[in-house]
Structure 1
Amino acid sequence: MNKFLITGGAGFIGSNLAEKLINAGNEVVIVDDLSMGLKANIADLNQELLTFYQESITNHQFMEELLVREKFDYIILLGAVASVADSVANPYTTHLINQEANINVYEVIRKNRLKVKKVLFASSAAVYGNNPELPKKETSPIEPLTPYAIDKFASERYAMTYGKLYNIPTVATRFFNVYGPKQNPNSPYSGVLSIIHECLKNGKEFTVFGDGEQVRDFTYVDDVTEAVVGLLYSSAKWDVYNVATGKTVTLNEVIAAFKKVMDKELTVKYEQERTGDIKVSAADISKISREIDYQPKYDISLGLKEYIRKSK
């Protein structure tokens, strides 16, 4: 049995990861302020193996005391304000969560010489921006367009540099568009697929910002948690990995696939595209595939079917 800390663990990806780890018999500690996460996401997990703290990761004293006391084997840093739009509206507030809080974790590990097996920082494909080079490789130009993307890139670089300087085994993942059960459609930070799903279920109108020809690599959450666990248990360190499917679809194609899987019609309204939104996002996943033999199991059709089945 290993002991894991997941910041943001009551959120969408975090709760799915916690479920996977607990089902494998591990002890999981979650820190989440529930600004985006939901207690319901972790209510069905084995409570004997789960400890939950409703606390902000910006509470540096709390985080230091927790890290020193619990002596975690693995630390997964998912806690963040995940909204690009919110980072544009409130750049400094989101910076404190999306970067400063993570630096504090690295610093506590360094200062207290904590012996962790691996620290994984969850970065984002947003760091690539709109650079025309496709698909995005880990060596592609970095052109962050928003405070969110800047903080994600800075935090992953801190993880790599702290790791090398102070011999902390760190690794970072750049998630592309993740979807699946436990994604909160009522949150303003929610992924687009959970909002489409909610609109289809309830006969609501769905708003597309732009022409719907935005290209994305939509990645089902089970493939993401598989990648995270694979990297944690691997010898990988001081490096960054794209986590995606390696296949792309347009938003219009996703809407069509959703309607087909659910056998329902959807009213779509098109509005002006939003500032900071990326037109084309496509991932090269050969690096992580070589490192841990990562083979995504879900294309968009299979992923949507599974998502709908688990969301009933």
Structure 2
Amino acid sequence: MSVRLLITGGAGFIGANLARSALSAPGIAHVRVLDDLSTGTREALRGVDVEFVLGSLLDDTALRRAVRDRDAVIHLGALPSVPRSVRDPVASHHANATGTLLLLQAARRADVGHVVVASSSSVYGANPALPKDELDWTRPLSPYAVSKLATEAYALAFASTYQLATLAFRFFNVYGPGQRHDHAYAAVIPRFVYAALRGEPVVYQGDGRQSRDFTYVDTVCSVLLDAVRRRVTHAHPVNLALGSRVDLVTVVGELERILDRPITVRHETPRPGDVRHSEASGVLLRQLFPEVRAVPIADGLVATVDWFQTFVTGPAGSAVAVDRVPAAPVEVVDQVGTVRRTVARTRSC
């Protein structure tokens, strides 16, 4: 069966990579993206021939337009970042919890056959167990984590109550080419790579020994697309990571090896809401997706550094415009309009 796919949050880092992968994936007939561009960018989808709907999950008109005639939805739309949620918990709740509820309701009314949602490893919070198993207890430490727990709970509740086929993934720390460094809530790897290429200090929020299960974006995209092609469901959330826990000191060491020079480090106060260590048990993921393969952190960092050198800093580390590859003008699309993009590929964010 060919899948007509909707990606919410498709102009963001993971979403744009996913849209690009979907266009060349077998079994995907058509790709539509819904994004309000609050954190994503139009430039992320340049050269990606998708149908684009500009609008929020909280906008009923845009949401109904987005879910119409879809076979499956991959729901990535969210307001990310633990620190952002600490500063504005209500905004995170509206975007992540209420937005997911409205999407599921719209999908059910439009007879969408399958909905995959993105939760987060942050839901484990204060649980010290390593690795994290999907049946371990959860104790969120931030409003963002609470909103993601609501995201997965709503998806599973709709499966139980309304027989909507759903699958909830708990994303861990996704990284790779196209991830933005240039905003207040940027993830750690793009911040480290950009600073290192510029010859600036990288900043540890603490001692640098905090660890994460870093997952390369191509791995995430391949699992998501396999899930919608095979219409995979499960009664519990599924960790989308493979037990590859690495601390930040090791990440910097790998960057020093790749760049062949030392990197200066600066320490700052740990951030409220952050967990000390995070690692997935990949047992359930491998059972459901036996073809999944982990990308070693060294290989993923090489690809990420290469992307930054090509599109962000330049080969010598001097800043260049990200949109340095010429492209046709990007059309502005209203909440019920669509556009087909056929210009040359530039970047994904």
| TM tier relative to shorter chain | over 0.9
Give distance in 1, aligned partners of 2:196 and 2:291.
32
**Residue number in structure 1 paired with 2:97:** 99
Q: 1:170 aligns with which of 142, 166, 170?
A: 166
SS at match of 1:239: coil
Q: Which runs of 5+ in 2 are unaligned?
A: 311-349
**Residue number in structure 2 paired with 1:256:** 253
Shift of residue 294, structure 1, vs aligned partner: 4.3
Pairs within 5 Å for 1:158-307:
158-237=154-233, 238-307=235-304
TM-score of the superposition, structure 2-length normalised? 0.84
Q: Between 241-250 and 302-311, report the one with greater CA deviation.
A: 302-311
SS at match of 1:26: strand
SS at match of 1:309: helix
Pairs within 5 Å for 1:17-166:
17-24=18-25, 26-45=29-48, 47=49, 50-67=50-67, 70-110=68-108, 112=109, 114-166=110-162
2:243, 2:281 within 8 Å by CA — same for their partners in 1? yes
Spell out, residue by residue over 1:253-278, the C-alpha distance to the aligned partner (whole angstroms, 9 max, x if none): 10110121122332211011110111
Runs of 4+ in 1 over 3 A off after TM superposition: none
Spell out, residue by residue over 1:4-47, the C-alpha distance to the aligned partner (whole angstroms, 9 max, x if none): 111110101001100110122632111112221122221022x2
Letter in 1 for 2:178: K
Which has the larger share of helix?
A: 1
TM-score of the superposition, structure 1-length normalised? 0.93
Change (3 A) 1:44 1:109: closer
Letter in 2 for 1:155: T
Give distance in 2, aligned partners of 1:30 and 1:245.
28
Shift of residue 56, structure 1, vs aligned partner: 1.8
Letter in 1 for 2:280: A
**Residue number in structure 2 paired with 1:2:** 3
Greater RCO, CA 8 A, separation 6+: 2
Question: Identity of aligned pairs, percent?
Answer: 34
Q: CA RMSD in A?
A: 1.5
Q: Between 90-99 and 232-241, report the one with greater CA deviation.
A: 232-241
Give distance in 1, aligned partners of 2:261 and 2:74.
38
Spell out, residue by residue over 1:61-98, the C-alpha distance to the aligned partner (whole angstroms, 9 max, x if none): 3212432xx31111011011111111111111111101
Q: Which runs of 5+ in 1 are unaligned?
A: none
